[in-house]
Structure 1
Amino acid sequence: MEIEEDIYANVEEVCVKGCDDLAAGYETLHQSQQAGTRLKHGNQNCQPYKLATVSLGMLCVLLLTSVISLSVLYDGGYNQLSRTLSLLTTNHTKEKKELQTSYGNLTKEKDQLERERNQLQISYNSLSKDIDQLQMRYNTMTKEKDQLQRTFSEQEKKMTEELGCCPDGWRRLGSSCYYLSTESKTWSESRADCIRGGADLVIINSREEQVFLNQLGKYMHFWIVLTDSEKEGIWKWVDGTTAATTTTTTTFWSSGEPNNADGEEDCVVFNRFSDLSRHWAIIQNWNDQPCTVNTQWVCESTPNVS
């Protein structure tokens, strides 16, 4: 009985320590005198701990399986993240290249704009100089104009003092006064009206006078004192001088004139039209007409006419 109690005591002691201390218990049992008996009964009573060991092994297998599964999942996620990172890296590289290209283009455009701005600045500076020069020329010409105006006024005043004034309603050019009628009459009646006032129909003997008369009004037709009534084709002023139909003397016939249409055009009409862009309408505007036509007339006299 004492031997069994010792065995059970030793077995309980070994079992309490656990299967992990089985080797130490085994060594203790060998040191006892009843080693064989104790070992036999110890192995029988350690069956529950073997079951626990098996359970722990299975738990370890489950844990290992779980770890492997998690590792597989981790590898899948890692691969997905790697692909995503690779795609992002590719996109980033592409966008970076596009941005670099855009930046290069913008830099070129900026340089081009700066060159154009510099060119415009140069042009602006040049224009500013030209404007300054034009302004100086304008100021100079204004001064010259004012001086000429003063000189003209002084000469006109002197001429008026020396030659007298033109009557009211008459206009002066040089040493002559001119009057444009408001009525219309035949050539003979018109000349008679001028003579009654101490004048005569106008004689045109210079380009300056032709231009001056052309500025008296628009759409007007008036008699001048030129006729070939004495001899056909020989045009004479009333002072006896001859006005040839060629350019060798001062004449301003319209194109194709004089033509003596119907054989009755022996007097000359000055035609004033509005189209000043046509050179002939300003200068070349004489036309032979029948002397019986009614139209306006221009009288010419010297300033001392009363």
Structure 2
Amino acid sequence: MVDTYESADVVSDQDFRTNTQQPLQQTGSGSLKTSPRRTPVCLVLLCFLLLTAVIVLRVYIYTNYTQETSTTILTEEKDQLIINITLLIEERDQLLTNIVNITEERDQLLTRVKVFSSEKDQFEKRLSSEKDSLMKQRDQLQQKKNDLQKFLSEQDGWFYYQSSFYFMSSEEKSWSESRRYCSDRGADLIIINNREEQDFVKKTSGGALVWIGLTDSAKEGSWKWVDGTNMTTRFWRLFEPNGQRRENCAASHSSGWADYPCDAKFKWICEKIAF
């Protein structure tokens, strides 16, 4: 722009000098003189052109600057958008992973719920079955209790000791007749399982001979109780049993057990399990 102004000043100065040095010429009869006012007009026109050029140049520079700035901003926005999209993609992938994990946990919980429901149903069935069984047992025990109460109310001479009812006879019968007497009353000849019960028999009988529920009638020398169990506890007197064939039934005395002929006449003790 400075060069332009300087060029314009040189041109104007040269034109002014040319116009002042050249003599005025005449053409024909009416000579036309060059007017000194044309020089300012040219300067004004030249300034206008220069101003227009400056404006155009500024507009061009501004436009280019604006475009470059816009391009830079758009590039930065594009980069930021790419970063945001990348972050969103990562978040989406993380969400998908979380959804997969939650789905697996849900499926596991559903499986556990099904298993628990099945176990609960089985437990309820088992509980119901056990409840029915306990109810039946309770009814049976109640029935036994009622039977025993009825039995005691109908019989005289029976007494209770350690979960069993006992009867001590006052008359004498054979072993088979004594057992039949007990069976008719829902009992059987006494079974002695321990020393305490043996002492109880001695005390109850007063030391007299009494039939007990022990015999080897089925097989000689193989002593069994009336309920079919083998004899395990022994309270035999010295040299008893003596092994005589006709002596197949046992009786208890103050000194211990002894074998006698089953048709001998002794008192007896009946036993009935209470529960």
TM-score, structure 2 as length reference: 0.46
TM-score, structure 1 as length reference: 0.42
